[in-house]
Amino acid sequence: MKRFGTDITFILPAFAVFTLFLVVPVLSGFYYSLTDWNGLNPETRFIGLDNYIRLFNDSDVGNAIRNTLLIAVCLTIVKNALGLTLALGMQGTGKIQRIMRVWYLVPVMLSALAIGYIWAYVYSPSDGVLNTLLEAFGLDGLARDWLGDSRLSIYSVIFVSVWHFVGFTMIIYVAGLQSVPSDVYEAAYLDGAGKWSMFKNVTFPLIAPSFTVNIVVNMIVGIKVFDTIFVMTNGGPGTSTENLSILLYRQAFAFDRMGYASSIAVIMFMIILIFSMIQIFALRKREVEH
Amino acid sequence: MRQHRRFTGKAALLLVALLALTATACGSTEEKRAAAPGEQKEQVVLNMYMANTSDTTYMPEVNRRFEEENPGIRIELQTAPVDQFETVIKTKLASGDAPDIFTIFAGTKKDSLVKAGYLMDLSDQPWVARLTDTARETASKDGKVYGLPNRQNLIGVIYNKKIFNDLGIAVPTNWDEFLEASRKIKDSGVVPLGLGLKDQFVTQMIPYAMAPSAIYRDNPDFDKNMYAGTQQFTGSVWEQMMQDYMALNEKGFFNSDVLGTSNDQAMQMFASEKVAMTVTLHGRIAAIKEANPNLELGMFPLPYAKAGESVWVSSMPSLFGGVYAKTKHPEEAKKYMEFLTRPEIAQFYLSSVNSFPAFTDVTVDLDPALKEMEEALKVGSYYFLDAVWPNTVQLVMQQQIQSVFAGRPIPDMLKAMDKAFQDGASMQ
């Protein structure tokens, strides 16, 4: 009994903070999604599922969900492929590898807002760094209006997000790779495994936990991405880069529809929950202990 | 063990840094309190929370003059960028921690605050009688005044006089002349019109400048009929307006990659004389002159009219701010507002922001570039359109215009705007 008391005293402060600042707001978000709260007026009406009915008939929401999923899937695939490649290249404890690892990690430390502003300049059609460089190398034909072309803009935004956070993905893979004991490789080598089969049969299963973390985290980050888009395109041109986060912000603070925005937030929560569950379930099975 | 020690070392460093941060944060508020003069008598502190507009530049000076005259009142001014302001003020109001005076925006934008009961009714103030009609209207809801109008903004064409003179172009007074002038400028190798449509608010400048002549001059009840449901954007003059707007682009009168260019870049292009005209707020003149003091600038209303027809101006009174309904110092706040309406104070800030007065009895010497606009205002004017629309329409229109530039058909845009209007009107 005394033990129980000690446990509780340790858990209670964290639990209280967690409840007060996370659980309560999240639950009240669910509640507000059932009201017509405008974010200002203290009087709100309970309107049941009206917000959700409206949401399913709102073409902006459909467009935002499509954009959100496109961003999330692209981000997850590209960041993992690139992150793993970089990690494999940066393996080892040599000086260059160590410097390069830090180098790739630098963008992670910068704020997404600053990065958004910088890249908005890089992408600028008339005097931006990117087009100027392309022209300097005689590749004028490749110069584009990167953020102004509504077919391209979403990929331009995705690229910046990849550039921003690929270092983080890489570091998790590096950690995973370093935790693989060298005797396993030696055994595989003695058994005559080639480089590819060594990666496929030894490395990959053993770093599966990093894989799970990276896929799930990047998917969640991809679904939620807001600041980069907000600064670079604000969802434009038109609605071509408007994802659920931008739409939610707009509904909540520009249109004063806090209730409706809450229902969008709930939908986002559901999407994240479903994707994470599927991924964790599917990926956990591949993990092996060593 | 070594690892462990290194970790504790780092943790300690972090802790110290955090402590230092909080310490400085506490320190600054402490200092302010200590510095307040007149401790013996209870001093009234008026809290002002204002969005960063050109108004915030003169506020410290005006506040200083006010405090000098009223030693019993101290003004605590806090400002924030517009986006941030809009979110923060809503939270402050909802949580009951509201400033005494804060920025509100003219027209329907302030109405949700009125409806929620956050704004004090200022109709009984002596300055109300001195307001121009349009200023009073945009500061009111259901016949009651809720904000202090302080100046008027205009949208029109800012142009480079030297380029016009070199090419022998006169200020155009109708649409055909405007197109002809643009063609001449383009043929000379200069971009006729600079626009930065990457920033969504820029998309509205041309339609806002067109609408007073195209719609409201002949049909002043357009918006009333929109609310009544007997008028729609679809099938209205809007179709022609948008076609003419797009035609400017098709003729190559805008800078290239107009959707990827930001407003700042467009202004830079204008300041470096790569562009002959831009359609924007008259307030930009100051910024352009700062970037290039040698420019000779002029401004004329966008002449979206046939030859012989009169051209109306897009003009909008702007509000300084409103008073919190439950303020603890209503008398002091009203006193401050009244102070701002004094002719000599109004003249001071109007000339500092180079803006037109919102009071009938105040005159001010403005930048010579605005001479033509001063005359044009007398012909006729209508508000920036969002002042009358439900707050849902403007953003939808901005997005839709970008989409139209990217290839969306104009009727689809107008349909979306109609829907936004109905949605918003039903919520009001």
Asked if B94 lies within 8 A of A124 by C-beta distance, the reply is: no
User: Which amino acid is located at B378 in the chain?
Assistant: K
pLDDT at B424 over 90: no
- Which of B200, B407, B408 shows the shortest C-beta gap to A236? B200
Q: What does the pLDDT read at residue A288?
A: 65
Is A85 an 8 Å CB contact of chain B?
Answer: no
The residues, ordered by sequence, that sit 6+ positions from B140 with a Cβ below 8 Å of its Cβ are B146
Q: Would the pLDDT of A50 be above 80?
A: yes
Q: Does B104 reach chain A within 8 Å, measured CB to CB?
A: no
Query: Across the interface, do A126 and B255 touch by the CB < 8 Å criterion?
Result: yes
pLDDT-based confidence at residue B25 (cuts at 50, 70, 90) = very low
pLDDT at B375: 87
Q: How far is B404 from chain A (nearest CA, A)?
A: 8
* pLDDT the model gives residue A141: 84
Distance CA A275, CA A285 (A): 16
B328: contact with A, CB 8 A cutoff: no
Phi, psi of B246 (to 5 degrees): -65, -35
Amino acid at A4: F
State mean pLDDT over A196-225. 89
Residue in chain A nearest B406 by alpha carbon: A150
- Give the C-alpha distances (Å, rounded to integers) separating B164 from B193, B275, B294: 13, 11, 15
Answer whether residue B29 shows pLDDT above 50: no
Residue B197 with chain A: CB contacts under 8 Å: 148, 237
Going by C-beta distance under 8 Å and a sequence separation of 6 or more, which residues neighbour residue B223? B388, B389
Tell me the chain A residues in contact with residue B395 when contact means C-beta distances shorter than 8 Å: 250, 254-255
Contacts of B118 in chain A (CB under 8 A): 40
Q: What is the pLDDT of residues A230-249, one digit of tens each?
A: 999 989 898 999 999 999 99
Strand partners, B44: B73
Position A290 scores a pLDDT of: 53
Q: Tell me the pLDDT band of A96, cut-offs 50, 70 and 90.
A: confident
Locate the chain B residue with the closest alpha carbon to A249: B87
Asked if residue B37 has pLDDT above 80, the reply is no
Q: Are A39 and B405 inside 8 Å of each other by CB?
A: no
Spatial distance between the Cα atoms of A30 and A11, rounded to a whole number of angstroms: 26
Chain B: closest CA distance from residue A51 (Å): 13
What mean pLDDT value characterizes chain A? 89
Contact call for B406 and A239, based on CB within 8 A: no
What does the pLDDT average to over B248-257?
A: 95
Residues in chain B: 428
Reply yes or no on whether the pLDDT at A211 is more than 70: yes
**pLDDT score for A244:** 95
For the whole model, what pTM was predicted? 0.83
Residues B87-144: tens digit of each pLDDT = 899 889 988 889 999 999 999 889 889 988 999 999 999 999 999 888 999 999 999 9
How many CB atoms are located within 10 Å of the residue B59 CB?
Answer: 17
Distance CA B185, CA B248 (A): 13
Ranges of H-type helices in B272-391: 284-291, 330-340, 343-353, 371-377
- The CA–CA distances, whole Å, from B88 to A106, B94, B381 equal 32, 10, 33
CB-based contact, A201 to chain B, within 8 Å: no
Q: Select the residue from A43, A54, A126 to test the B interface by mutation, using most B Cβ atoms within 10 A.
A: A126
Res. B257: pLDDT tops 70: yes
Nearest CB among B260, B395, B408 relative to A146 is that of B260
Q: Tell me, what's the pLDDT at B428?
A: 65
- Measured over all CA atoms, what is the biggest interatomic distance in chain B, rounded to whole angstroms? 90
Q: Residue B390: list chain A partners with CB under 8 A.
A: none
Please report, rounded to a whole number, the percentage of residues in chain A having pLDDT higher than 70.
98
- For residue B329, pLDDT over 50 is answered with yes
Q: Is the ipTM of this complex over 0.85?
A: no
The shortest C-alpha distance from A36 to chain B (Å) reads: 10
C-alpha–C-alpha distance, residues A264 and A239, integer Å: 16
- pLDDT, position B169: 95
Option in A41, A123, A255 nearest B392 (CB): A255
Instruction: Report CA A90 to chain centroid distance, whole Å.
Output: 23
Q: Are B269 and A127 in contact (CB under 8 A)?
A: no
A124 to chain B, closest Cα gap in Å: 7
- What CA–CA distances, in Å, run from A276 to A165, A206, A218, A271, A282? 19, 21, 10, 8, 10
Task: Kindly report the backbone phi and psi dihedral angles of residue B259, in degrees, each rounded to the nearest multiple of 5, phi listed first.
Answer: -75, -20
A30-39, A45-54, B35-44, B106-115, range with the lowest pLDDT: B35-44
Predicted local distance difference test score (pLDDT) of residue B10: 52
**3-state SS assignment for residue B415:** helix
- B108 touching chain A per CB within 8 A: no
Residue A170, pLDDT > 90, answer yes
Mean pLDDT for all residues in chain B: 88
Strands B381-382 and B101-102: unpaired
Tell me the C-alpha to C-alpha distance, in Å, between residue B158 and each of A282, B253, B369: 61, 15, 9
Chain B residues 175-204 with a CB less than 8 Å from chain A = 197-198, 200
Q: Please name which of A288, A88, A83 lies closest in space to residue A184, comparing C-alpha atoms.
A: A288
Nearest CA in chain A to B88: A253
| H and E: helices and strands count for chain B | 17, 12
pLDDT at B87: 84
* Angstrom distance (rounded) from CA B428 to CA B284: 33
Tokens describing residue A2: 């005394």
How many angstroms separate the CA atoms of B91 and B319, rounded?
A: 21
| Contact assignment for A125 to B261 by CB distance below 8 Å | yes
Q: How far is Cα B247 from Cα A237, in angstroms, rounded to an integer?
A: 19
**What is the DSSP-derived secondary structure letter of residue A35?**
B
Contact in structure between B388 and B227 (CB atoms under 8 Å)? no
